[in-house]
Amino acid sequence: MRLQSPSSPPPRYRVLSALAAGGMAEIFLAERIEDGRPPVQVALKRVRAHLQNDPVLVGMLSDEIRLGLLCSHPNLVAMLDAGHEEGQPYAVLEYIDGLDLAQLRVALLARGERFTRAQAVKISMELCKGLAYLHTLTDAAGAPLSVVHRDVTPPNVLLGVDGAVKLCDFGFAKSRSQRTLTEPGLIKGKFSYLSPEAALEQPVDLRADLFGVGIMLWEMLTMQRLFHADTDYETFKLIQKAEIPALGPAGAQADDVDDVLEEIVRKSLARDLQQRYQSAQALYNALAAYADWQELSCELGSLVERVRPASSRRQS
């Protein structure tokens, strides 16, 4: 599928512009053209042109498509369609008009602002809802797929001007339906958001995804990075130790964080798997109870609209 220009789009799609390019894939903003209907903006994803002869990467995108087409949840970016062009798979994804969480953090810092407790808790709750669905997904016969996202990171959390919070990019996801085997020991996910077990190259399960939520919650509350060093090696060592600085007044990281919220964050970031939350639903329940107790509320869509650059477009 050649998407370098709008002159040769896949059938029924007209490419408008490039949205993003990562190490493996590239994303294009496009319009879906159907007779008798107004055009609908979508995101087209394919393996980067110079990597299209790599069977592992092509297989990973095919696995992502297979998993995405099974999913239907408001906190997951929807896989709308898929196909092949010139022997290469492509995915058609829901387009989210807004920012990713990494961009939102940068925009807030540039304005001298920070996430409120209500915003940080709300975003984390919405992610937990999407993960709870993903982790309990079954195949057509009702058998568990045992999905682990393995890349729960700020660039993969999309926030729309409509207030939606959606997890995207299943390219690294592990599930029972997976057909492409990657190299043993290959570490999935961005380094600063790995779980201790992943950094130690041990088997991971759904609790690794919850650790990623915990890192992002800690970082939203403090506007600091939790595991970040000058080199990847030093970052790995920080993650393996998983020593979590205190959040509340005693730790001087975020003086508006009380003991109850601090305990929720610390449990989500427990190095010992048995001490960590055992499901996304359990973490969601803890956050929801806290939000109710503190009467927290916020409107995320207006935040995204207010701080995003006028030209910003992002989709993964």
pLDDT tens track for 77-115: 999 988 877 778 888 999 999 999 999 999 999 999 999
242: left (phi over 0), alpha (psi -120 to 50) or beta: left
Q: Phi then psi for 21, rounded to 5 degrees?
A: -140, 130
Q: What is the mean pLDDT of the chain?
A: 86
What's the angle, vertex CA 153, arms to CA 149 and CA 155, rounded to 5?
115
Write down the CATH number for the domain with range 99-307: 1.10.510.10
d(C-alpha 168, C-alpha 173), whole Å: 11
Query: Coil, helix or strand for 231?
Result: coil
Task: Report which of residues 65 and 306 the model is more confident about.
Answer: 306
> Could you give the residue numbers annotated as active site?
151
Phi-psi region at 286: left, alpha or beta (left = phi > 0; alpha = psi -120 to 50): alpha
What are the structure tokens assigned to 76, written together?
């997951």
What's the pTM? 0.88
Q: Does residue 10 surpass a pLDDT of 80?
A: no
Which helix (H) or strand (E) segment holds residue 44: the answer is strand 40-47
In angstroms and rounded to an integer, the radius of gyration of the C-alpha atoms of the chain is 20
| Angle subtended at Cα 252 by Cα 240 and Cα 208, rounded to the nearest 5 degrees | 30
Q: For residues 86 and 220, give the distance between their C-alpha atoms in angstroms, rounded to a whole number.
A: 43
Domain ranges of the chain: 13-94, 99-307
Average confidence (pLDDT) over 219-243:
92
Retrieve residue 214's tokens.
Answer: 């915990």
Residue 277: pLDDT above 60? yes
pLDDT category, 51, cuts 50, 70, 90?
confident
The pLDDT-based confidence of 123 (bands split at 50, 70, 90) is very high
Does residue 221 carry a pLDDT above 80? yes
Q: CATH number of 13-94: 3.30.1180.20, 3.40.50.410, 3.30.200.20, 3.30.230.10? A: 3.30.200.20
